[in-house]
Amino acid sequence: MKKVLYFGLLLLVPAFISCVEDLGNDTVAEINEIEISGIEESYSVIAKQETLVINPEVKGSLSASDESNLSYEWFLCDNGITDHNHYTIGTERNLSYFIESTPANYTLYFSVLDNSTGIKWEKEATLSVVSPMVRGFYLFGDKADGSVAMDFLSFIDGRDTSVVKDVFVNTKNLKGAKNAVFTGYYVNEAMVNMWVMSESGSYQVDKSASSTEVKELDDMSNPGSFIFPTVPVSQPQQVMDIHPYPYAKTNTNRARGARILFTKDNVFATGMMTLPEAYGNPINCYKAASADLFKPSKYILYKDNVASVSGVCMFDETNHCFVRVNSMSSYTAPTYCVKLSNTGTPFYFDQNQYSPVRTMVYGQNGYGNAGRSYALMNNENGEYFVYQIMVASYSSITAQAAYTIDMSVAEEFAKADFYTFFSMQPIVLYSVGAKLYAYDYARNECKLVNTFDGNITYLSMDYESNNDPKHIWIATYNGSAGKVYGYSIADNQNAINVTPVEHEVFDTEIKVVKMEYRNHAN
């Protein structure tokens, strides 16, 4: 929603000469001394979101109310040191200017010209044009015609949360949105750190907060510029996901250390504390630099309540077992996987111990309960199970708890489109079409939370933006328009209580498939 800002504090009035000598007649002519008030010393407005409105008062010492002999001009100076520019933004006394300017700091000038004497009177103020895309969520998805699009749910301190519409410049006509990842910011390297993935390919994009547009840059469907394997791998290596995601409201640098990149067929890892982003051989193998690669699940497990990742766990779909990564330091390090084994209490890491064998349906990392991770498993009999796993370090990964989903109670559980785990209690939320359910798998209670006006297209817990593990984002689409809802779930071990958050309903024209948090001014 666009907002109009009104300002009305007084500034100091500059002193000017009040009379001039008429040498031809040996007389002194009095000058119409202009007084300007009603302009503040500084303003802050959001680019392409807000209108700057200033209604100054102009008074003359000779003609206090007659403005017919006066001309007005408002202009901005971009404060360039050697090559600065002035932009006229208004020629009326009252200013109403929708901010199209690039986010930056400007000097705002208001000048009043006395047409009879040619004397100009001036006031100045500082103007901070703020990007709406410093902190908030990218809303990534498709338009009605299937083309990739993006809005931005903007969080600006002191302002209402608002949606910046249509920020993605889809010059390559990408179709079929899949994923968007903002990995954080690495100050020692000038690297792009935002990606979009679609059916048309994977692209690095320009994510600068100084712009209100997101543009495609390099096509990463065959990323030979930053993946350097010495063993044969399938091509192209289309990028699908990158971990870890930013952690907590203000931490944006977690992914600068250990970083895991998923392609369509493989997993790569690197460390970037002293090196730029580069990847070596795939790590979905059991021996360094091996070409014998297993098929990895698309989920990776790690503690999600810490500022740096010190261990990761994956699921091997070829051999039906959980594995750990031995270490990650740089792309040249010999990184590979090691099969996890245990006695089967409370569950086996090797899913071949079960008949029928179990496979991974969904995985999620948790913020509460010391950062436990969650794995949703099933088998060919249609049975579902929840595993809780603690990934403490590269060498310490333990099975914490196991539960069986009661399919007679968890209504339509096998039909679910999306799942998300509440990390504070044994509750999983899931959606089927337009319906949102919550199921307590410890107390075996299921509740229909709501039926929305449109199918649910995205469902996820959100603790990145507010450090609150109880917050949920839900996106829906009815075929022509979408909505984004904020919900909250109570930390209650005796009841399921999921409620909408007041004022957290936002309109969008796209079918949202990913909400990706960012918090960085670069």
Identify the CATH number of the domain in which residue 63 sits: 2.60.40.10
Q: Identify whether 185 is part of a domain.
A: no
Look at residue 3 in the predicted model and tell me its pLDDT: 39
């005796």: which residue's tokens?
494
Q: Identify whether 359 is part of a domain.
A: no
| pLDDT per residue of the chain (522 residues) written in tens, 0 to 9 | 333 443 433 333 343 434 444 445 555 557 778 899 999 999 999 988 899 999 999 988 776 556 788 999 999 998 765 567 788 999 999 999 999 888 889 999 999 998 888 899 999 999 999 888 888 999 999 999 999 999 999 988 788 899 999 999 999 999 999 999 987 655 554 455 788 999 998 888 877 777 788 888 877 776 677 888 899 887 777 889 988 887 767 666 666 667 889 998 899 988 776 667 788 899 999 999 999 999 999 999 999 888 788 899 999 999 999 999 998 766 667 789 999 999 999 999 999 999 999 999 999 999 999 999 999 999 999 999 999 999 999 999 999 999 999 999 999 999 999 999 999 999 999 999 999 999 999 999 999 999 999 999 999 999 888 889 999 999 999 999 999 999 999 999 999 999 999 999 999 999 999 999 988 766
Residue among 88, 106, 84 at smallest CA distance from 97 = 88
Q: Identify whether 283 is part of a domain.
A: no
Alpha-carbon distance of 512 to 483, in angstroms, equals 9
Final residue before a domain boundary, out of 87, 102, 130: 130
Alpha-carbon distance of 206 to 184, in angstroms, equals 13
Structure tokens at 495: 């009841």
Strands across the sheet containing 511-519: 162-164, 148-154, 135-142, 511-519
Instruction: Tell me the residue ranges of DSSP E strands in 92-147.
Output: 95-98, 104-114, 119-130, 135-142
Structure tokens at 14: 């500059």
Alpha-carbon distance of 374 to 367, in angstroms, equals 11
Final residue before a domain boundary, out of 76, 97, 130: 130
Q: Which residue range(s) make up the domain with 76? A: 3-130
Q: Identify whether 35 is part of a domain.
A: yes
Three-point CA angle 62, 63, 67, nearest 5°? 140
Three-point CA angle 488, 494, 500, nearest 5°? 15
């399938």: which residue's tokens?
234
Residue among 404, 408, 411 at smallest CA distance from 379 = 404
Q: Identify whether 411 is part of a domain.
A: no
Final residue before a domain boundary, out of 75, 100, 130: 130
Q: Identify whether 13 is part of a domain.
A: yes
Helix and strand element counts for the chain (H, E)? 0, 40
Residue among 392, 393, 385, 489 at smallest CA distance from 437 = 489
Counting the structural domains of the chain, the total is: 2
Q: Identify whether 478 is part of a domain.
A: yes
Does residue 373 contact residue 391 with C-beta atoms inside 8 Å? Answer: yes
Alpha-carbon distance of 103 to 94, in angstroms, equals 23
Alpha-carbon distance of 375 to 38, in angstroms, equals 61
Q: Identify whether 150 is part of a domain.
A: no
